[in-house]
Structure 1
């Protein structure tokens, strides 16, 4: 059995919220049976291993396994000191009875489809969703609540859901509010135009895609808000030491040009004594607004791998080396600007 050193991860503060998250987070989509079944005992062992490794930020959502992820995460954390960790969930996909079940969920999770997702960013929908999440997790409160993928629902999300979350924050029911999306342009709008404290940025500040430097990251810096980075492997292309054809980029087969680019980055990583996945995890921390990188983890072995990669040394000089070769943008912040206690 792998043993972990407890409290081995630095804590970073989400601006103006009083919350401190470990710089590596546990993404709980996989324990909602994403793509394949994860046994109950593996899910529980993954959360326990993450705790032993010093991870103190855990993220879930109703969408993940139609509530299974929330249930499992809540069960695994229930005996932990409530003030010792931060948990986030999401609203916008309300779970309602499925009148026409076909047996298995159609959105990537291997679970029964007795429930279905219903887009709802109304005040009532937000309140009902949070109440249901608390019931499924068995916890007394949530620390962070994100709007989940409001791409096609800007007006209701910005004008109804976000003010509802702000009211709950003002009442002390939750500590921080935000938005999680795969795109960066609308996230920047939420940072600039709403009461959001933090955004969950998926795949747009990675070794292969730094487009968030055009909008989200400047907005976060300008307004003193925080960013949680997810999807740092861009669906898998950055997850191995040596990328290969057939690997995924943003949920699709990666084009040859991107595979070649990833291979070129991997070669530079090797020259600097590190690996591509280790660099992929470290890279978002180059920006001072990024407080956390959250990775999906299914079992104890994945926790061991991810925490090992996180702790693997990645020299600051790597970023300069990648800039010189034109493999990352020239406006990536200077080495050492982001990672470290805050």
Structure 2
């Protein structure tokens, strides 16, 4: 079974998620993560049409002792309209476009092309990425293809990465995956993914918790911004504000609590945090290194702000 560090780096922002990041800033951000002790790095072809993979591979070249995760399910092919800009949230030229492909050949091709972009000798984890509308093909074709690659020693661990918990639960119950990346469904504001986590704990499947800030609302001491990449609804901002007030009484900031909370569940091995600047990395690292008193969680539970199940 693959060993996972407690803190990981999410590579979507250095793939120009929402806004452009320079080559120099992207490299400095990965360097800051490394210097902060981060040793798990996650990326995907989807992130900037391969830009994240290329940048992450270049930054990790010559280094060792890390765990690298990428994903399959979207092939990158030449775009019929290469003069435009990407329409899926990344500020990059649309020279390529994504094509869903969860077939055996598509999975193998995807991983081969990722390895070329990364320019690294190995990928440690391969995740089936967002098969929401392709569940049966992902179970029947993509999973067996990854199982073959694991048996061949091409990858050490395989799994699924999604923003929901129901489909990953099927993978845990019906296949022999090693890892689940769960984004946003086990956070201070959303513990809906508990059934998945309980199944993972029972079956020895390790969980990478991503989206611990729910896209932004939990990322600052005073809640604001987005929830699930949309403007945060007022009731959620109010609830997050109440959580922040309890945190403040215990000398803990809201983002500090948001990073600490998922790691309390025995199924969760790692939290994966995206970053676009070195300052974001060092700020988060300073917070995660500080202990959070147990009484904080007790007060949040007694105040009805946190589920008592875990």
Query: Which residue of structure 1 aligns with residue 30 of structure 2?
Result: 47
For residues 120 and 138 of structure 1, what CA distance do their matches in structure 2 show?
A: 23
Asked if 1:20 is matched to 2:13, the reply is no
For residues 254 and 300 of structure 1, what CA distance do their matches in structure 2 show?
A: 26
For residues 4 and 27 of structure 2, what CA distance do their matches in structure 1 show?
A: 21
> Which stretches in structure 1 are left out of the alignment for 5+ residues?
1-16, 334-342
Alpha-carbon contact 1:32-1:67 (below 8 Å) kept: yes
Moved over 4 A (4+): none
Q: RMSD value over aligned CA atoms? A: 0.9
For residues 32 and 118 of structure 2, what CA distance do their matches in structure 1 show?
A: 19
Alpha-carbon contact 1:31-1:298 (below 8 Å) kept: yes
How far off its partner does 1:20 sit? 2.2
How far off its partner does 1:102 sit? 4.3
Asked if 1:243 is matched to 2:223, the reply is yes
How far off its partner does 1:242 sit? 1.1
Asked if 1:264 is matched to 2:264, the reply is no
Asked if 1:225 is matched to 2:225, the reply is no
Query: Which residue of structure 2 aligns with residue 85 of structure 1?
Result: 66
Instruction: Give the aligned length.
Output: 310
Aligned with residue 43 of structure 2, among 41, 60, 79: 60
Aligned with residue 282 of structure 2, among 280, 294, 304: 304
SS at match of 2:270: strand
When normalised by structure 2's length, the TM-score is 0.98
For residues 202 and 276 of structure 1, what CA distance do their matches in structure 2 show?
A: 18
Query: Which residue of structure 2 aligns with residue 166 of structure 1?
Result: 147
For residues 329 and 180 of structure 1, what CA distance do their matches in structure 2 show?
A: 24
For residues 297 and 130 of structure 1, what CA distance do their matches in structure 2 show?
A: 24
Aligned with residue 128 of structure 1, among 101, 104, 109: 109
Query: Which residue of structure 1 aligns with residue 136 of structure 2?
Result: 155
Paired residues for 1:81-230 under 5 Å: 81=64, 84-213=65-194, 215-230=195-210
Alpha-carbon contact 1:22-1:54 (below 8 Å) kept: no
Alpha-carbon contact 1:21-1:85 (below 8 Å) kept: no
For residues 138 and 101 of structure 1, what CA distance do their matches in structure 2 show?
A: 25
SS at match of 2:291: coil
